[in-house]
């Protein structure tokens, strides 16, 4: 769950390849979002996530946060923590008292948020969608549609604050009917962060008796 969620969170900073008449506006807006994100030294996002599937009578809600600094990131989500130090991914699940240590595998879906900043260049079409007023903020939605019809993702809606050019909301609809909604509560940039924030202390968890899994 936590690894796939990385993909959703990373979509807060992307734009995708265009098609059709209305896609020109979508491309221009998403390029603005991308360029704005690229200009920051680091980003901190606090968010609320909702996972729903009506047929399965499923609804899960949780809060989380992620700090991005270049290729490195620290994600807190569903009571777990995932850290990428630029070399390896460390996933800590306190409920199971275990830590998984693995390399980034760019051949599968578990790519880091930093890599997701460039994935937009291929693989999707997008459309200009609705404009909403949320508490006085103008939120313009762009619909992302995977070119590959066999993908697990049917569509993604990105809601963009037209003034700040930051992502406010993401709504992903799966081919199985599952809808994941991520709403940004706080979006901060260029924050003072500790030099050890992206350093993993394996001994700390060994001393706690955590089971260490190396893949």
Is residue 121 over pLDDT 60?
A: no
Percent of all residues in the chain with a pLDDT value above 90, rounded to a whole number = 40
Give the Cβ contact number of residue 71 at 10 Å.
16
Q: Considering only residues 118 and 194, tell me which one the structure prediction assigns the higher pLDDT.
A: 194
pTM score > 0.85 for this model?
Answer: no
Enumerate domains of the chain plus CATH numbers: 32-214 (2.50.20.10)
Q: What is the pLDDT of residues 6-34, one digit of tens each?
A: 445 544 444 333 334 467 788 788 888 88
Give the Cβ contact number of residue 193 at 10 Å.
15
The span from the CA of 28 to the CA of 33, in Å, is: 9
Is residue 179 over pLDDT 50?
A: yes
Give the Cβ contact number of residue 125 at 10 Å.
16
pLDDT of residue 186: 92
């Amino acid at each position: 769950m936590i690894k796939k969620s990385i993909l959703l969170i990373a979509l807060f900073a992307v734009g995708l390849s265009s098609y059709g008449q209305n896609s020109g506006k979508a491309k221009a807006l998403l390029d603005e979002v991308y360029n704005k994100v690229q200009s920051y030294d680091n980003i901190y996002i606090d968010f609320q996530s909702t996972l729903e599937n009506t047929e399965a009578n499923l609804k899960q809600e949780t809060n989380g946060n992620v700090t991005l600094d270049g290729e490195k990131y620290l994600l807190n989500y569903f009571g777990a923590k995932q850290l990428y130090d630029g070399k390896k991914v460390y996933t800590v699940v306190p409920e199971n008292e275990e830590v998984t240590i693995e390399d980034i595998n760019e051949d599968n879906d578990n790519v880091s948020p930093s890599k997701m900043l460039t994935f937009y260049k291929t693989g999707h079409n997008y459309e200009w969608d609705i404009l909403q007023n949320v508490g006085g903020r103008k939120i313009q939605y762009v619909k992302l549609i995977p070119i590959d019809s066999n993908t697990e993702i049917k569509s993604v809606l990105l809601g963009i604050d037209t003034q700040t050019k930051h992502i406010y909301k993401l709504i992903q609809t799966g081919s199985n009917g599952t809808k994941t909604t991520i709403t940004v509560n706080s979006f901060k940039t260029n924050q003072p962060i500790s030099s050890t924030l992206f350093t993993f202390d394996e001994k700390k968890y060994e001393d706690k008796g955590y089971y260490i899994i190396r893949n």
